[in-house]
Amino acid sequence: MFCKLTNNYSKPCRLVMITGVSIFIAEALVMLFLSLLPELPPLIEAIVDSVSLSLFVFPVLYFFLFRPMLRQINIQMKTEEELKRSKSELETKISELVFAQKTLHESEGQYKLLFDQNPNPMWIFDLETLNFLLVNDAAIKHYGYTREEFLSMTLKDIRPEEDIPLLLDSLSKAPINDYLNNFRGTWRHIKKGGMIIFVDIIADVLEFKGRKAAIVVVKDVTNRKQAEEELQKTKSELEVLVAERTRELQTANIELLVRTEVLEQRNREINLLSEMNSLHQVCNTTEEAYTVMAKYLEQLFPEDCGELLILNTITNMLEPAIFWGNIDKVCNTVSVKDCWALRRGQMHIYTRDGIDLKCKHSNSIGEINICLPMIAQGEALGIIHLMVPSAVSDDVLANKKQLALSLAEQISLSLSNIRLRETLRTMSIRDSLTGLYNRLYMEEFFKQEIHRAYRKGTSIGVIIIDIDHFKRVNDTLGHDAGDMLLAKIGKFLHRSIRESDIVCRFGGEEFVIIMPEATVEVAAGRAQELRKSFKLSNLDYESLLPVGEITISLGVSAFPRNGLTAEAIFKAADDALYEAKDSGRDRVCVAKVRENNPAVNSGSSI
C-alpha cells in the first residue's frame, strides 16, 4: 500500500520516505520492547535513549526540511528528462525533414527528367484558366508550336470549335485532387497549320506552383482512328452486303419453296394423269372411261369446276358426259358453232374484263372460263370447259392452263384409242351389215355356254333362221334391196330376243339364236313366236311387192338333247331347217333326238 502511494515520486524521494517510515517503525518497536522490560542495564538504556531520540528527530526533519527539498529536486529532474526527450524528438524530425527534402529534390529531378524526355507529348495546364503552364519537347515537336507559343495559349486553342463545349463540360465535372475521368479518352486536337489529329489522353490532377493544375499525357492515334474508320466503313459495307445477300437468300429460299411446292404439285398432277392413263388403257368402253375421268378430274382441279362435253357426230351437238365442282347449271346440249374453242381448234379463254368472246355455253359470272378442244388424229371429239375463280394469280392460272392442255391431249388420245378398240372389237365380232354378232363370235360364245351348261347340268336352245326365197329378192330387186332386208331382219331379231340370248348372222340369209338355259320346248315356242311376229312386223313391204310376201323358216335343236358338241347341235338344227323348207317353208321344225345320243339314252341331262 505504501509503495503504491509513493509511485508518483522520483526514486530519491521514495528512498527518503521509505527510510523515515522504517525509522518510525523501529522506534515503535523499541518502545514496545522497553515497556516489556522494566529494568535494563545502563548502557543499553543509554543506547535506547539515543536511538529513541534519533527516531523522533528524523521524521520531524523529514517533513519540515527534506520533503520540500526532495520535491524541488524531483521537479527539476522531470524537467530535464522532458527536455532531453523533446530534443531527441526534434532531432528526429529534423533528420526526417532533411531526408524528405533530399528525396523530394531527387524525385523532382527524376520527374522533370521523365517529363522532358518522355517521347509522348505532355503538358501541365491550369484547371481554372486552361493556360498551358509547362510543355515537354515531344509536345513542341509533335504539334509544331514553339514553347513560347504553347505557354501563351490555352487548352481551347488546340481544340476544334465544335469540341470546346464538351471540353468545358468534362472539366467542370472533374473533382479536385482526383483523376480527370471525364477528361480521359479520345479527343480531336489541332496542330499548327490546322491539321486535325486524333489523340488518346491520360490526365491527373496536381498542384503546380500553388495552382490547381492537371498533367496530361497525349498519344497520337490518328492512324489507328483512320484504320478504325476504314474498318467501320468496311464493316458497314459488309453488313449491307450481308443484309443484301441475306435478303437475296431469303428471296431465293422463298422462291425455292414456291418452286418446290409447284414441283410437288406438278408431280402429283403427273402421277394422277399417269394413273388415269393407265386405267384408260384397260377401259373397254367410253362409259368406263368417263367414270375414270370423273374421279380424276375432280382431284386435278379441286378448287375449280368444269364439264366434259362429247361431240355427237350424228347430231353435230356437244353432249355433257362429265361435270364436277359447284356448277350452277349444266347445259343439256351445245351446238358446235356455240363454242369458240372448237370452232378455232385451240384454247379459248374468256374473262369478265377480257376482250375475248364468250362461248354461249359459259354460264358462270365473275369466273375465268377456259375451253379446250379435244382433237385426235384430226377428228374433233369434244371440249373441256374449265371454270376458274377470277381471284387466282397469273402463275396459278398459267399452271392450270398448262395442266388443262395436257389433260385435253391425254383424254383425246384415250377416247380415240377406246373408240378405235371398240370399233375393232365390233368389226371382229359383229356383222357390219346387220350389227349382229358374226359367226366367229357365236361359235366362241356357244363353246363357253356348252361348258357352263355341262357344269351346271342345264340345256341350251338353238334356233337357225333362214329367209324364204331370199335369192328371188336379190335377183329381182338387186343386192341393195337384199342388204336392206337383211338389216331390217337383224334389227327385228335383236329387239325380239331375251337379254341373256344372243343372235348372230350365220352366213348369207341365215341367222342363229342361242338361248342359254332354255329347253328344246322353250326354244321351239320362241321360234313360233318369232315366225308369227315377223309376218306381222312393219317391214317396208312396198319396196318388196314385186317378190311377194317375205317369210322365214326356223330349225330348232338343243344341248344336250341333240348332241354334246357345237357341231352336232348346229347340224341337228340345220337338218330341222331343211326339213321346214322341204315341208313348204314358213314353219318351225324341231330336230329329232339321235338314237345313239349318250345323254338321252342314259336319261341324263348333263
Higher pLDDT, 105 or 424: 424
Claim to verify: residue 483 and residue 498 sit in the same structural domain: yes
Look at residue 410 and tell me if it is in a domain.
Answer: yes
Strand partners, 135: 123
Q: 512, exposed or middle or buried, with CB in 10 Å at 0-12, 13-18, 19+?
A: buried
Query: Which residues are CB-contacts of 564 (< 8 A; sequence separation ≥ 6)?
Result: 450, 454, 598, 599, 606
Please name the residue that has the C-alpha cell 503552364.
Answer: 133
Indicate if the pLDDT at residue 39 is higher than 70. no
Q: What is the pLDDT of residue 83?
A: 79
Q: What is the mean pLDDT of residues 71-95?
A: 77
**462 within 8 A of 514, measured Cβ to Cβ:** yes
Please name the residue that has the C-alpha cell 410437288.
Answer: 264
Instruction: Compute the mean pLDDT over every residue in the chain, rounded to the nearest whole number.
Output: 80
Q: What is the pLDDT of residue 560?
A: 93
Higher pLDDT, 21 or 572: 572
Using left for φ > 0, alpha for ψ between -120 and 50, and beta otherwise, residue 300 falls in alpha
Claim to verify: residue 417 and residue 474 sit in the same structural domain: no
Higher pLDDT, 268 or 185: 268
Question: Nearest Cα to 24, choosing from 69, 62, 70, 66?
Answer: 62
Final residue in a domain of this structure, among 378, 403, 427:
427
**305 within 8 A of 387, measured Cβ to Cβ:** yes
Angle between helices 11-36 and 42-61 (to 10 degrees): 150
Please state whether the peptide bond connecting residue 560 to the residue before it is cis, i.e. omega within 30 degrees of 0: yes
The helix/strand/coil state of 93 is helix
Cell triple for 523: 326354244
Instruction: Compute the distance between CA of residue 77 and CA of residue 80 in angstroms, rounded to an integer.
Output: 5
In the chain, the percentage of residues whose pLDDT exceeds 90 is: 24
Question: Nearest Cα to 70, choosing from 8, 158, 126, 131?
Answer: 8
DSSP 8-class letter at 175: P
Q: For residue 353, what is the domain's CATH number?
A: 3.30.450.40
Please state whether the peptide bond connecting residue 389 to the residue before it is cis, i.e. omega within 30 degrees of 0: no
Report in angstroms the alpha-carbon separations of 553 from 43, 468, 524, 570: 217, 7, 12, 15
Q: What is the pLDDT of residue 539?
A: 60
The helix/strand/coil state of 452 is helix
Q: For residue 128, what is the domain's CATH number?
A: 3.30.450.20
Instruction: Compute the distance between CA of residue 434 and CA of residue 276 in angstroms, rounded to an integer.
Output: 35
Claim to verify: residue 446 and residue 402 sit in the same structural domain: no
**185 within 8 A of 225, measured Cβ to Cβ:** no
Strand partners, 322: 308
**384 within 8 A of 407, measured Cβ to Cβ:** yes
pLDDT digits (tens, 9 = 90+) for 393-415: 888 888 888 888 888 888 888 88
Q: 165, exposed or middle or buried, with CB in 10 Å at 0-12, 13-18, 19+?
A: exposed
DSSP 8-class letter at 154: B
Claim to verify: residue 483 and residue 568 sit in the same structural domain: yes
Please name the residue that has the C-alpha cell 361359235.
Answer: 443
Claim to verify: residue 476 and residue 552 sit in the same structural domain: yes
Claim to verify: residue 48 and residue 177 sit in the same structural domain: no
Q: What is the mean pLDDT of residues 559-576?
A: 93
In the chain, the percentage of residues whose pLDDT exceeds 70 is: 77
Claim to verify: residue 421 and residue 486 sit in the same structural domain: no
Instruction: Compute the distance between CA of residue 357 and CA of residue 369 in angstroms, rounded to an integer.
Output: 11
Cell triple for 260: 418446290
Claim to verify: residue 158 and residue 191 sit in the same structural domain: yes
Cell triple for 511: 341367222
Look at residue 257 and tell me if it is in a domain.
Answer: no
Final residue in a domain of this structure, among 151, 186, 220:
220
Look at residue 174 and tell me if it is in a domain.
Answer: yes
Q: What are phi and psi of 50, to 5 degrees?
A: -65, -35
323's enclosing H/E stretch is strand 317-324
Instruction: Compute the distance between CA of residue 598 and CA of residue 273 in angstroms, rounded to an integer.
Output: 58
Query: Which residues are CB-contacts of 196 (< 8 A; sequence separation ≥ 6)?
Result: 160, 188, 189, 190
Indicate if the pLDDT at residue 53 is higher than 90. no
Instruction: Compute the distance between CA of residue 133 and CA of residue 154 in angstroms, rounded to an integer.
Output: 9
**204 within 8 A of 180, measured Cβ to Cβ:** yes
Look at residue 262 and tell me if it is in a domain.
Answer: no
The helix/strand/coil state of 556 is strand
Query: Which residues are CB-contacts of 573 (< 8 A; sequence separation ≥ 6)?
Result: 462, 463, 464, 512, 555, 556, 557, 562, 591
Claim to verify: residue 443 and residue 567 sit in the same structural domain: yes
* Residue 599, CA atoms < 13 Å, CB-side half-sphere: 18
Instruction: Compute the distance between CA of residue 381 and CA of residue 106 in angstroms, rounded to an integer.
Output: 119
pLDDT digits (tens, 9 = 90+) for 303-362: 888 888 888 888 888 888 888 887 765 556 778 888 888 888 888 888 766 666 778 777
Indicate if the pLDDT at residue 381 is higher than 90. no
pLDDT digits (tens, 9 = 90+) for 440-470: 888 889 999 999 999 999 999 999 999 988 8
Question: Nearest Cα to 163, choosing from 144, 140, 190, 142?
Answer: 190
The number of folded domains in the chain is: 4
Q: What are phi and psi of 381, to 5 degrees?
A: -105, -25
Instruction: Compute the distance between CA of residue 392 and CA of residue 150 in angstroms, rounded to an integer.
Output: 80
Task: Spell 114-139 as b/e; 16+ CB within 10 A means b.
Answer: ebeeeebbbbbbbbeebbbbbbbebb
Q: Which domain holds residue 551?
A: 430-601
Look at residue 475 and tell me if it is in a domain.
Answer: yes
Q: What is the C-alpha R_g of the chain?
A: 72
Q: For residue 467, what is the domain's CATH number?
A: 3.30.70.270
Indicate if the pLDDT at residue 107 is higher than 50. yes
Claim to verify: residue 417 and residue 489 sit in the same structural domain: no
Final residue in a domain of this structure, among 181, 204, 220:
220
Q: What is the pLDDT of residue 601?
A: 40
* Residue 231, CA atoms < 13 Å, CB-side half-sphere: 6
Look at residue 354 and tell me if it is in a domain.
Answer: yes
Higher pLDDT, 561 or 17: 561
Claim to verify: residue 310 and residue 411 sit in the same structural domain: yes
Cell triple for 583: 315341208
Claim to verify: residue 415 and residue 447 sit in the same structural domain: no
> How far from the centroid of its chain's Cα atoms is residue 210's Cα?
76
